[in-house]
Structure 1
Protein backbone atom coordinates (compact mmCIF):
# COMPACT_ATOMS: atom_id res chain seq x y z
CA UNK A 1 0.00 0.00 0.00
CA UNK A 2 1.35 3.45 -0.95
CA UNK A 3 2.21 5.98 1.74
CA UNK A 4 1.72 9.75 1.72
CA UNK A 5 3.12 11.78 4.64
CA UNK A 6 2.10 15.27 5.72
CA UNK A 7 4.39 17.89 7.26
CA UNK A 8 2.78 21.31 7.68
CA UNK A 9 2.49 24.41 9.85
CA UNK A 10 -1.33 24.12 9.81
CA UNK A 11 -1.83 23.21 13.49
CA UNK A 12 -5.01 21.39 14.47
CA UNK A 13 -7.52 24.16 15.20
CA UNK A 14 -8.51 24.78 11.59
CA UNK A 15 -9.96 22.58 8.87
CA UNK A 16 -6.79 22.37 6.78
CA UNK A 17 -5.41 19.00 7.90
CA UNK A 18 -8.80 17.32 7.70
CA UNK A 19 -9.49 18.77 4.25
CA UNK A 20 -6.15 17.55 2.88
CA UNK A 21 -6.67 14.04 4.25
CA UNK A 22 -10.21 13.95 2.88
CA UNK A 23 -9.02 15.01 -0.57
CA UNK A 24 -6.34 12.30 -0.59
CA UNK A 25 -8.87 9.64 0.40
CA UNK A 26 -11.28 10.87 -2.28
CA UNK A 27 -8.54 10.25 -4.84
CA UNK A 28 -7.09 7.07 -3.35
CA UNK A 29 -9.04 4.82 -1.02
CA UNK A 30 -6.18 2.32 -0.67
CA UNK A 31 -3.56 4.63 0.90
CA UNK A 32 -1.73 5.12 4.18
CA UNK A 33 -1.65 8.76 5.33
CA UNK A 34 0.95 9.48 8.01
CA UNK A 35 1.25 12.74 9.94
CA UNK A 36 4.88 13.64 10.55
CA UNK A 37 4.04 17.00 12.14
CA UNK A 38 1.48 19.79 11.88
CA UNK A 39 3.12 21.86 14.63
CA UNK A 40 5.91 23.44 12.57
CA UNK A 41 6.30 27.11 13.44
CA UNK A 42 4.54 29.28 10.82
CA UNK A 43 6.78 29.58 7.74
CA UNK A 44 9.71 28.10 9.67
CA UNK A 45 11.64 26.44 6.85
CA UNK A 46 14.62 25.44 9.01
CA UNK A 47 12.43 23.68 11.58
CA UNK A 48 10.46 21.92 8.86
CA UNK A 49 13.64 20.68 7.21
CA UNK A 50 15.10 19.41 10.48
CA UNK A 51 11.99 17.39 11.35
CA UNK A 52 11.40 16.00 7.87
CA UNK A 53 15.08 15.20 7.22
CA UNK A 54 15.21 13.08 10.35
CA UNK A 55 11.85 11.38 9.78
CA UNK A 56 11.73 10.48 6.09
CA UNK A 57 14.56 7.92 6.21
CA UNK A 58 12.42 5.71 8.46
CA UNK A 59 9.83 5.32 5.69
CA UNK A 60 10.09 2.80 2.86
CA UNK A 61 11.38 3.84 -0.55
CA UNK A 62 8.64 5.21 -2.78
CA UNK A 63 6.95 7.19 -0.01
CA UNK A 64 5.50 10.55 -1.09
CA UNK A 65 6.02 13.46 1.32
CA UNK A 66 3.77 16.52 1.10
CA UNK A 67 5.46 19.62 2.56
CA UNK A 68 2.91 22.27 3.51
CA UNK A 69 5.10 25.11 4.81
CA UNK A 70 5.37 28.39 2.87
CA UNK A 71 3.66 26.64 -0.03
CA UNK A 72 2.05 29.58 -1.85
CA UNK A 73 3.32 29.72 -5.42
CA UNK A 74 5.18 32.77 -6.79
CA UNK A 75 7.86 33.46 -9.43
CA UNK A 76 10.42 32.94 -6.65
CA UNK A 77 8.68 30.00 -4.96
CA UNK A 78 7.79 27.47 -7.65
CA UNK A 79 5.86 24.28 -6.92
CA UNK A 80 7.97 21.21 -7.52
CA UNK A 81 8.58 17.50 -6.95
CA UNK A 82 12.02 16.31 -5.91
CA UNK A 83 12.94 12.65 -6.17
CA UNK A 84 15.78 11.89 -3.79
CA UNK A 85 17.01 8.79 -1.99
CA UNK A 86 14.07 6.83 -3.40
CA UNK A 87 11.52 9.26 -1.91
CA UNK A 88 9.32 11.96 -3.46
CA UNK A 89 8.91 15.42 -1.92
CA UNK A 90 6.04 17.61 -3.10
CA UNK A 91 6.83 21.13 -2.00
CA UNK A 92 7.44 24.74 -2.90
CA UNK A 93 10.97 25.76 -3.85
CA UNK A 94 11.36 27.62 -0.55
CA UNK A 95 14.74 26.24 0.43
CA UNK A 96 13.36 23.43 2.58
CA UNK A 97 14.31 20.66 0.13
CA UNK A 98 17.86 21.93 -0.33
CA UNK A 99 18.31 21.62 3.44
CA UNK A 100 16.94 18.07 3.37
CA UNK A 101 19.13 17.07 0.41
CA UNK A 102 22.31 18.78 1.63
CA UNK A 103 24.05 15.40 1.89
CA UNK A 104 22.20 13.51 -0.87
CA UNK A 105 22.09 14.37 -4.57
CA UNK A 106 18.53 14.62 -5.96
CA UNK A 107 17.74 12.12 -8.69
CA UNK A 108 15.15 14.31 -10.39
CA UNK A 109 13.63 17.79 -9.88
CA UNK A 110 10.42 18.72 -11.70
CA UNK A 111 8.53 22.01 -11.64
CA UNK A 112 4.80 21.32 -11.30
CA UNK A 113 2.73 22.55 -14.24
CA UNK A 114 -0.78 21.14 -14.07
CA UNK A 115 -3.24 21.89 -16.91
CA UNK A 116 -5.67 24.73 -16.12
CA UNK A 117 -4.04 25.27 -12.74
CA UNK A 118 -4.50 28.70 -11.14
CA UNK A 119 -2.89 30.28 -8.08
CA UNK A 120 -4.85 29.48 -4.94
CA UNK A 121 -4.69 30.30 -1.23
CA UNK A 122 -4.65 26.58 -0.40
CA UNK A 123 -2.12 24.99 -2.78
CA UNK A 124 -1.53 21.95 -0.57
CA UNK A 125 -5.15 20.95 -1.15
CA UNK A 126 -5.58 22.11 -4.74
CA UNK A 127 -2.17 21.20 -6.18
CA UNK A 128 -0.03 19.06 -3.90
CA UNK A 129 -2.73 16.47 -3.24
CA UNK A 130 -3.27 15.89 -6.98
CA UNK A 131 0.44 15.51 -7.58
CA UNK A 132 1.04 13.23 -4.57
CA UNK A 133 -1.83 10.95 -5.56
CA UNK A 134 -0.54 10.78 -9.14
CA UNK A 135 2.89 9.66 -7.88
CA UNK A 136 1.36 7.22 -5.37
CA UNK A 137 -0.52 5.55 -8.26
CA UNK A 138 2.80 5.01 -10.01
CA UNK A 139 2.50 7.99 -12.37
CA UNK A 140 5.58 9.49 -14.02
CA UNK A 141 6.94 12.88 -12.98
CA UNK A 142 7.24 14.01 -16.60
CA UNK A 143 3.44 14.06 -16.80
CA UNK A 144 2.98 16.71 -14.12
CA UNK A 145 5.75 19.14 -15.03
CA UNK A 146 9.05 20.06 -16.61
CA UNK A 147 12.64 19.82 -15.30
CA UNK A 148 13.65 22.50 -12.79
CA UNK A 149 17.26 23.53 -13.03
CA UNK A 150 18.08 24.40 -9.43
CA UNK A 151 16.86 24.26 -5.85
CA UNK A 152 16.72 27.42 -3.79
CA UNK A 153 19.40 27.31 -1.09
CA UNK A 154 19.38 28.84 2.38
CA UNK A 155 22.90 29.68 3.52
CA UNK A 156 22.34 32.03 6.46
CA UNK A 157 22.25 29.09 8.88
CA UNK A 158 25.55 27.44 8.03
CA UNK A 159 28.00 27.26 10.97
CA UNK A 160 30.92 29.65 10.70
CA UNK A 161 34.55 28.69 11.31
CA UNK A 162 36.70 31.55 12.67
CA UNK A 163 39.81 32.22 14.75
CA UNK A 164 41.97 30.01 12.51
CA UNK A 165 39.81 26.97 13.14
CA UNK A 166 39.62 27.45 16.91
CA UNK A 167 36.00 28.63 16.97
CA UNK A 168 32.73 27.29 15.53
CA UNK A 169 29.75 29.63 15.69
CA UNK A 170 26.38 28.00 15.13
CA UNK A 171 22.72 28.78 15.62
CA UNK A 172 19.68 27.27 17.28
CA UNK A 173 17.61 25.62 14.55
CA UNK A 174 15.05 23.69 16.60
CA UNK A 175 13.56 23.52 20.09
CA UNK A 176 11.80 20.25 20.85
CA UNK A 177 8.87 19.32 23.08
CA UNK A 178 11.13 19.05 26.13
CA UNK A 179 12.72 22.44 25.54
CA UNK A 180 15.94 20.82 24.32
CA UNK A 181 17.86 23.11 21.99
CA UNK A 182 19.25 21.71 18.72
CA UNK A 183 22.07 23.60 17.01
CA UNK A 184 23.15 23.38 13.38
CA UNK A 185 26.60 22.14 14.44
CA UNK A 186 26.95 18.54 13.34
CA UNK A 187 29.16 15.97 15.05
CA UNK A 188 31.19 15.52 11.86
CA UNK A 189 32.07 19.24 11.75
CA UNK A 190 32.88 19.31 15.48
CA UNK A 191 35.21 16.33 15.22
CA UNK A 192 36.87 17.64 12.05
CA UNK A 193 38.07 20.78 13.86
CA UNK A 194 38.55 19.46 17.37
CA UNK A 195 41.77 17.52 16.71
CA UNK A 196 41.73 16.08 20.23
CA UNK A 197 41.62 19.49 21.92
CA UNK A 198 39.60 20.43 24.99
CA UNK A 199 36.69 22.76 24.30
CA UNK A 200 33.93 24.83 25.79
CA UNK A 201 30.43 25.29 24.45
CA UNK A 202 29.11 28.76 25.23
CA UNK A 203 25.38 29.49 25.23
CA UNK A 204 24.80 32.96 26.68
CA UNK A 205 26.26 32.72 30.22
CA UNK A 206 26.41 28.90 30.31
CA UNK A 207 29.63 27.02 29.57
CA UNK A 208 29.73 23.26 28.98
CA UNK A 209 32.97 21.34 28.56
CA UNK A 210 31.77 17.85 27.70
CA UNK A 211 29.53 16.31 25.04
CA UNK A 212 27.69 13.10 25.91
CA UNK A 213 26.29 10.36 23.70
CA UNK A 214 23.00 10.16 25.63
CA UNK A 215 20.99 12.25 28.09
CA UNK A 216 21.87 10.13 31.12
CA UNK A 217 25.53 10.32 30.16
CA UNK A 218 25.68 13.22 32.60
CA UNK A 219 25.01 10.83 35.51
CA UNK A 220 28.01 9.14 37.12
CA UNK A 221 26.38 6.05 38.57
CA UNK A 222 29.56 5.23 40.50
CA UNK A 223 28.87 8.15 42.85
CA UNK A 224 26.35 8.37 45.66
CA UNK A 225 23.06 9.94 44.59
CA UNK A 226 23.67 13.14 46.50
CA UNK A 227 27.02 13.59 44.71
CA UNK A 228 25.83 12.98 41.15
CA UNK A 229 24.74 15.41 38.51
CA UNK A 230 21.14 14.69 37.59
CA UNK A 231 17.70 16.25 36.98
CA UNK A 232 17.97 19.99 36.46
CA UNK A 233 21.59 20.00 35.31
CA UNK A 234 22.60 21.28 31.87
CA UNK A 235 24.35 19.05 29.38
CA UNK A 236 25.38 18.82 25.75
CA UNK A 237 25.09 15.71 23.64
CA UNK A 238 25.23 14.46 20.08
CA UNK A 239 21.56 13.75 19.40
CA UNK A 240 20.17 10.93 17.28
CA UNK A 241 20.31 13.16 14.20
CA UNK A 242 24.02 13.86 14.69
CA UNK A 243 23.72 17.47 15.87
CA UNK A 244 24.99 19.09 19.06
CA UNK A 245 22.02 19.56 21.36
CA UNK A 246 21.79 21.40 24.68
CA UNK A 247 19.44 19.98 27.27
CA UNK A 248 18.42 20.01 30.89
CA UNK A 249 18.42 16.45 32.22
CA UNK A 250 14.82 15.25 32.73
CA UNK A 251 13.41 18.67 31.90
CA UNK A 252 9.74 19.61 31.72
CA UNK A 253 8.69 22.88 30.10
CA UNK A 254 5.43 22.82 32.06
CA UNK A 255 7.12 22.72 35.47
CA UNK A 256 10.85 23.16 36.04
CA UNK A 257 11.56 24.40 32.51
CA UNK A 258 13.88 23.23 29.74
CA UNK A 259 17.14 24.31 28.13
CA UNK A 260 15.37 26.90 26.00
CA UNK A 261 13.90 28.70 29.03
CA UNK A 262 16.56 28.03 31.66
CA UNK A 263 19.47 28.88 29.34
CA UNK A 264 17.55 31.69 27.66
CA UNK A 265 17.87 30.36 24.13
CA UNK A 266 15.53 30.94 21.20
CA UNK A 267 15.40 30.08 17.52
CA UNK A 268 18.37 31.61 15.64
CA UNK A 269 20.35 32.40 18.82
CA UNK A 270 24.10 31.84 18.63
CA UNK A 271 25.92 28.92 20.26
CA UNK A 272 29.73 29.02 20.14
CA UNK A 273 32.36 26.30 20.52
CA UNK A 274 35.89 27.35 21.40
CA UNK A 275 38.72 24.81 21.12
CA UNK A 276 41.26 25.41 23.85
Structure 2
Protein backbone atom coordinates (compact mmCIF):
# COMPACT_ATOMS: atom_id res chain seq x y z
CA UNK A 1 0.00 0.00 0.00
CA UNK A 2 1.39 3.40 -1.01
CA UNK A 3 2.14 6.04 1.59
CA UNK A 4 -0.18 9.08 1.62
CA UNK A 5 1.24 12.29 3.09
CA UNK A 6 -0.71 15.33 4.26
CA UNK A 7 0.54 18.93 4.16
CA UNK A 8 -2.04 21.58 5.09
CA UNK A 9 -2.59 24.91 6.77
CA UNK A 10 -5.46 23.43 8.83
CA UNK A 11 -3.68 23.34 12.21
CA UNK A 12 -4.65 20.73 14.80
CA UNK A 13 -7.24 22.59 16.87
CA UNK A 14 -10.14 21.80 14.55
CA UNK A 15 -11.56 18.55 13.23
CA UNK A 16 -10.33 18.83 9.64
CA UNK A 17 -7.19 16.67 9.84
CA UNK A 18 -9.05 13.92 11.73
CA UNK A 19 -11.79 13.94 9.06
CA UNK A 20 -9.18 13.50 6.32
CA UNK A 21 -7.52 10.58 8.06
CA UNK A 22 -10.81 8.93 8.95
CA UNK A 23 -11.97 9.17 5.34
CA UNK A 24 -8.75 7.60 4.06
CA UNK A 25 -8.97 4.74 6.56
CA UNK A 26 -12.63 4.17 5.64
CA UNK A 27 -11.57 3.74 2.02
CA UNK A 28 -8.24 2.04 2.71
CA UNK A 29 -8.09 0.36 6.15
CA UNK A 30 -4.43 -0.59 5.58
CA UNK A 31 -3.38 2.89 4.47
CA UNK A 32 -0.12 4.42 5.65
CA UNK A 33 -0.65 8.11 6.41
CA UNK A 34 2.17 10.51 7.28
CA UNK A 35 1.66 14.08 8.47
CA UNK A 36 4.32 16.33 6.95
CA UNK A 37 2.88 19.52 8.47
CA UNK A 38 -0.45 21.07 9.36
CA UNK A 39 1.09 24.31 10.56
CA UNK A 40 1.78 25.98 7.23
CA UNK A 41 1.03 29.69 7.46
CA UNK A 42 -2.50 30.10 6.03
CA UNK A 43 -2.46 30.35 2.22
CA UNK A 44 1.35 30.65 2.17
CA UNK A 45 2.29 28.76 -0.98
CA UNK A 46 6.02 29.50 -0.70
CA UNK A 47 6.19 28.15 2.85
CA UNK A 48 4.27 25.05 1.81
CA UNK A 49 6.68 24.49 -1.08
CA UNK A 50 9.72 24.92 1.18
CA UNK A 51 8.47 22.29 3.64
CA UNK A 52 7.41 19.81 0.95
CA UNK A 53 10.46 20.23 -1.29
CA UNK A 54 12.72 19.45 1.67
CA UNK A 55 10.77 16.39 2.76
CA UNK A 56 9.20 14.53 -0.14
CA UNK A 57 12.48 13.09 -1.45
CA UNK A 58 12.90 11.14 1.79
CA UNK A 59 9.81 9.08 0.92
CA UNK A 60 9.85 6.12 -1.46
CA UNK A 61 8.77 6.60 -5.04
CA UNK A 62 5.07 6.00 -5.48
CA UNK A 63 4.23 8.12 -2.42
CA UNK A 64 1.10 10.26 -2.79
CA UNK A 65 1.35 13.82 -1.44
CA UNK A 66 -1.89 15.68 -0.68
CA UNK A 67 -1.39 19.46 -0.58
CA UNK A 68 -4.17 21.20 1.35
CA UNK A 69 -3.16 24.85 1.09
CA UNK A 70 -5.37 27.30 -0.84
CA UNK A 71 -7.18 24.29 -2.27
CA UNK A 72 -10.54 25.68 -3.42
CA UNK A 73 -11.03 25.38 -7.17
CA UNK A 74 -11.50 28.45 -9.34
CA UNK A 75 -11.21 28.98 -13.11
CA UNK A 76 -7.59 30.06 -12.49
CA UNK A 77 -6.90 27.44 -9.83
CA UNK A 78 -7.84 24.04 -11.22
CA UNK A 79 -7.36 20.82 -9.26
CA UNK A 80 -4.46 18.80 -10.65
CA UNK A 81 -2.34 15.71 -10.09
CA UNK A 82 1.31 15.73 -11.13
CA UNK A 83 3.63 12.76 -11.31
CA UNK A 84 7.15 14.04 -10.67
CA UNK A 85 10.24 11.93 -10.03
CA UNK A 86 7.99 8.99 -9.18
CA UNK A 87 5.93 10.98 -6.65
CA UNK A 88 2.28 12.02 -6.97
CA UNK A 89 1.26 15.54 -5.93
CA UNK A 90 -2.45 16.33 -5.58
CA UNK A 91 -3.09 20.04 -5.28
CA UNK A 92 -4.84 23.08 -6.61
CA UNK A 93 -2.90 24.75 -9.41
CA UNK A 94 -1.49 27.45 -7.14
CA UNK A 95 2.09 27.21 -8.38
CA UNK A 96 3.15 25.03 -5.46
CA UNK A 97 3.96 22.04 -7.68
CA UNK A 98 6.29 24.13 -9.83
CA UNK A 99 8.08 25.46 -6.75
CA UNK A 100 8.49 21.97 -5.29
CA UNK A 101 9.81 20.50 -8.52
CA UNK A 102 11.57 23.53 -9.98
CA UNK A 103 14.51 21.50 -11.26
CA UNK A 104 12.44 18.67 -12.79
CA UNK A 105 9.86 18.30 -15.52
CA UNK A 106 6.69 16.45 -14.46
CA UNK A 107 6.31 13.07 -16.10
CA UNK A 108 2.55 13.54 -16.29
CA UNK A 109 -0.01 16.15 -15.21
CA UNK A 110 -3.80 15.81 -15.33
CA UNK A 111 -6.63 18.15 -14.45
CA UNK A 112 -8.92 16.35 -12.02
CA UNK A 113 -12.43 15.70 -13.28
CA UNK A 114 -14.54 13.55 -10.96
CA UNK A 115 -18.14 13.43 -12.18
CA UNK A 116 -19.55 12.57 -8.76
CA UNK A 117 -17.52 15.07 -6.69
CA UNK A 118 -19.32 17.60 -4.52
CA UNK A 119 -18.28 21.23 -4.97
CA UNK A 120 -17.97 22.79 -1.51
CA UNK A 121 -15.47 24.47 0.79
CA UNK A 122 -13.61 21.25 1.67
CA UNK A 123 -12.15 19.97 -1.61
CA UNK A 124 -9.24 18.24 0.12
CA UNK A 125 -11.82 15.82 1.53
CA UNK A 126 -14.24 15.63 -1.38
CA UNK A 127 -11.72 15.58 -4.23
CA UNK A 128 -8.11 15.05 -3.16
CA UNK A 129 -8.81 12.11 -0.84
CA UNK A 130 -10.80 10.31 -3.55
CA UNK A 131 -7.95 10.75 -6.03
CA UNK A 132 -5.30 9.67 -3.51
CA UNK A 133 -7.20 6.50 -2.65
CA UNK A 134 -7.68 5.73 -6.35
CA UNK A 135 -3.94 6.03 -6.99
CA UNK A 136 -3.11 4.03 -3.85
CA UNK A 137 -5.26 1.16 -5.16
CA UNK A 138 -3.16 1.15 -8.34
CA UNK A 139 -5.46 3.32 -10.44
CA UNK A 140 -4.15 5.41 -13.31
CA UNK A 141 -4.24 9.18 -13.68
CA UNK A 142 -6.16 8.91 -16.94
CA UNK A 143 -9.21 7.73 -14.99
CA UNK A 144 -9.36 10.82 -12.74
CA UNK A 145 -8.66 13.53 -15.27
CA UNK A 146 -7.47 14.72 -18.64
CA UNK A 147 -3.94 15.82 -19.66
CA UNK A 148 -3.10 19.32 -18.46
CA UNK A 149 -0.32 21.62 -19.61
CA UNK A 150 -1.09 24.84 -17.76
CA UNK A 151 0.72 24.48 -14.44
CA UNK A 152 1.01 27.90 -12.86
CA UNK A 153 4.57 29.19 -12.74
CA UNK A 154 4.88 30.88 -9.37
CA UNK A 155 8.39 32.25 -9.26
CA UNK A 156 10.34 31.67 -6.08
CA UNK A 157 11.63 35.05 -5.04
CA UNK A 158 15.28 34.73 -5.88
CA UNK A 159 18.23 36.62 -4.38
CA UNK A 160 19.50 39.61 -6.35
CA UNK A 161 23.17 40.13 -7.17
CA UNK A 162 24.07 43.83 -7.23
CA UNK A 163 27.13 46.14 -7.29
CA UNK A 164 29.02 43.91 -9.72
CA UNK A 165 28.79 40.87 -7.47
CA UNK A 166 29.78 42.65 -4.27
CA UNK A 167 26.40 42.23 -2.64
CA UNK A 168 23.66 39.57 -2.45
CA UNK A 169 20.21 40.80 -1.45
CA UNK A 170 18.10 37.93 -0.17
CA UNK A 171 14.82 37.42 1.67
CA UNK A 172 13.40 35.44 4.56
CA UNK A 173 11.47 32.48 3.14
CA UNK A 174 10.69 30.46 6.26
CA UNK A 175 10.72 30.63 10.05
CA UNK A 176 10.93 27.25 11.76
CA UNK A 177 9.63 25.93 15.07
CA UNK A 178 12.68 27.29 16.94
CA UNK A 179 12.27 30.76 15.48
CA UNK A 180 15.26 30.21 13.20
CA UNK A 181 15.21 32.42 10.10
CA UNK A 182 15.81 30.67 6.77
CA UNK A 183 16.84 32.85 3.86
CA UNK A 184 16.66 32.15 0.12
CA UNK A 185 20.46 32.44 -0.22
CA UNK A 186 21.91 29.02 -1.00
CA UNK A 187 25.45 27.92 -0.22
CA UNK A 188 26.36 27.40 -3.88
CA UNK A 189 25.34 30.99 -4.72
CA UNK A 190 27.23 32.37 -1.72
CA UNK A 191 30.37 30.39 -2.62
CA UNK A 192 30.17 31.40 -6.28
CA UNK A 193 30.34 35.11 -5.48
CA UNK A 194 32.53 35.05 -2.40
CA UNK A 195 35.74 34.09 -4.19
CA UNK A 196 37.64 33.91 -0.90
CA UNK A 197 36.65 37.43 0.19
CA UNK A 198 35.68 38.46 3.70
CA UNK A 199 32.01 39.25 4.11
CA UNK A 200 29.36 40.67 6.40
CA UNK A 201 25.92 39.11 6.70
CA UNK A 202 23.52 41.92 7.53
CA UNK A 203 20.19 41.36 9.29
CA UNK A 204 18.54 44.50 10.65
CA UNK A 205 21.33 46.12 12.71
CA UNK A 206 23.21 42.86 13.28
CA UNK A 207 26.38 41.84 11.43
CA UNK A 208 27.79 38.32 11.18
CA UNK A 209 31.14 37.50 9.58
CA UNK A 210 31.14 33.71 9.80
CA UNK A 211 28.74 31.00 8.61
CA UNK A 212 28.99 27.58 10.24
CA UNK A 213 28.10 24.15 8.90
CA UNK A 214 26.46 22.97 12.13
CA UNK A 215 25.09 24.61 15.27
CA UNK A 216 27.80 23.17 17.51
CA UNK A 217 30.56 24.52 15.23
CA UNK A 218 29.66 27.85 16.83
CA UNK A 219 31.24 26.73 20.12
CA UNK A 220 35.02 26.82 20.56
CA UNK A 221 35.48 23.81 22.83
CA UNK A 222 39.17 24.61 23.31
CA UNK A 223 38.14 27.49 25.58
CA UNK A 224 37.13 27.19 29.20
CA UNK A 225 33.37 26.89 29.62
CA UNK A 226 33.03 30.35 31.06
CA UNK A 227 34.74 31.87 28.00
CA UNK A 228 32.72 30.07 25.33
CA UNK A 229 29.76 31.43 23.42
CA UNK A 230 26.59 29.88 24.74
CA UNK A 231 22.80 29.67 24.61
CA UNK A 232 21.25 32.95 23.53
CA UNK A 233 24.04 34.00 21.15
CA UNK A 234 23.37 34.73 17.45
CA UNK A 235 24.91 32.58 14.73
CA UNK A 236 24.53 31.77 11.05
CA UNK A 237 24.75 28.31 9.48
CA UNK A 238 24.24 26.58 6.16
CA UNK A 239 21.29 24.43 7.14
CA UNK A 240 20.55 20.86 6.04
CA UNK A 241 18.95 22.19 2.85
CA UNK A 242 22.01 24.41 2.13
CA UNK A 243 20.25 27.70 2.78
CA UNK A 244 21.78 30.41 4.99
CA UNK A 245 19.95 30.30 8.32
CA UNK A 246 20.10 32.70 11.25
CA UNK A 247 19.63 31.16 14.67
CA UNK A 248 19.89 31.86 18.36
CA UNK A 249 21.97 29.07 19.84
CA UNK A 250 19.67 26.71 21.79
CA UNK A 251 16.79 29.15 21.43
CA UNK A 252 13.46 28.69 23.16
CA UNK A 253 10.55 30.74 21.87
CA UNK A 254 8.75 30.50 25.22
CA UNK A 255 11.67 31.96 27.20
CA UNK A 256 14.54 33.83 25.55
CA UNK A 257 12.92 33.94 22.10
CA UNK A 258 14.26 32.96 18.68
CA UNK A 259 16.11 34.70 15.89
CA UNK A 260 12.88 35.86 14.27
CA UNK A 261 11.59 37.62 17.39
CA UNK A 262 14.91 38.86 18.73
CA UNK A 263 16.03 40.26 15.37
CA UNK A 264 12.58 41.48 14.38
CA UNK A 265 12.57 39.44 11.17
CA UNK A 266 9.54 38.04 9.37
CA UNK A 267 8.60 36.39 6.10
CA UNK A 268 9.99 38.27 3.06
CA UNK A 269 12.18 40.62 5.13
CA UNK A 270 15.54 41.48 3.58
CA UNK A 271 18.87 39.82 4.44
CA UNK A 272 22.08 41.03 2.74
CA UNK A 273 25.58 39.70 2.21
CA UNK A 274 28.32 42.30 1.60
CA UNK A 275 31.62 41.00 0.21
CA UNK A 276 34.68 43.05 1.14
TM normalised by structure 1 equals 0.97
Report the counterpart of residue 262 of structure 1 in structure 2.
Answer: 262
Asked if structure 1 preserves the Cα contact closer than 8 Å seen for 2:3 and 2:64, the reply is yes
Q: Deviations over 1:159-179 (max 9, x none)?
A: 111111111111111111111
Deviation at residue 18 of structure 1 after TM alignment: 0.9
Report the counterpart of residue 162 of structure 1 in structure 2.
Answer: 162
Deviation at residue 118 of structure 1 after TM alignment: 4.7
Report the counterpart of residue 93 of structure 1 in structure 2.
Answer: 93
1: distance between equivalents of 2:119 and 2:157?
30
1: distance between equivalents of 2:169 and 2:199?
13
SS, match of residue 4 in structure 1: strand
RMSD: 1.2
Report the counterpart of residue 176 of structure 1 in structure 2.
Answer: 176
1:68 matches 2:68: yes
Structure 1: segments with no counterpart, 5+ residues: none
2: distance between equivalents of 1:113 and 1:163?
50
Greater CA drift, 120-129 or 92-101:
92-101
* Mapping 1:115-194, distance limit 5 Å: 115-155=115-155, 157-194=157-194
Report the counterpart of residue 31 of structure 1 in structure 2.
Answer: 31
Deviation at residue 113 of structure 1 after TM alignment: 1.2
Report the counterpart of residue 12 of structure 1 in structure 2.
Answer: 12
* Mapping 1:244-263, distance limit 5 Å: 244-263=244-263
Structure 2: segments with no counterpart, 5+ residues: none
Deviation at residue 100 of structure 1 after TM alignment: 0.6
Report the counterpart of residue 208 of structure 1 in structure 2.
Answer: 208
SS, match of residue 164 in structure 2: helix
TM normalised by structure 2 equals 0.97
SS, match of residue 58 in structure 2: coil
Greater CA drift, 200-209 or 141-150:
141-150
Count of aligned positions: 276
